[in-house]
Amino acid sequence: MNPAAATWTWRGLAAVGCLVTVMCGLLLAGTWRDDRKIDADMSTTRAEVVSTVSNKVVVRYAVTAAPSLRTNGLLSPGGVFGLFTTDVPQPGEGVMVEYSRANPDLVRVADRGFEWAAFRVAAFLAVVWAALGGLRLLLWRLVRRG
């Protein structure tokens, strides 16, 4: 393989890896901000699972006389670590949620905060950068062979 082509290919892959890393950082920043707002004025309730799609669930929970429906879903409420779990609640089941009384649309699965999200994001980024490192090694070997 042409060394110049390999260099540009690696730079492109590294740029994609950096973009993914920045996006994950923004995700964690949003999670941290939401957790701070929820923790400042928190209430806990039991929510009913309305529907399940992949690792998201749509829940309905009562904050006042009228029930609130979280249509955007909550991420990965199932499993202990939730990394590779299929233990997602089914429609009709209940899940404990924590929400902000000041803004009931800010909701999370009980005991699932920033630290839990950081663990998942770190594991994801480790896989991404390990794959990019493997591709870099492959490119290096292709250039050496000529």
Q: How far is CA 30 from the centre of its chain?
A: 11
What is the spatial distance between Cα 51 and Cα 34, in angstroms, rounded to a whole number? 23
pLDDT 10s digits, 77-129: 555 445 555 566 778 888 888 888 888 888 888 888 888 889 989 999 999 99
Domain 28-112 has CATH 1.25.40: no
Reported pTM = 0.77
Greater model confidence, 82 or 31: 31
Question: Which positions ≥6 away from 21 have C-beta within 8 Å?
Answer: 125, 128
Quote the mean pLDDT of the chain: 83
State whether residue 72 is helix, strand or coil: strand
Closest CA to 76 of 116, 47, 124, 31: 116
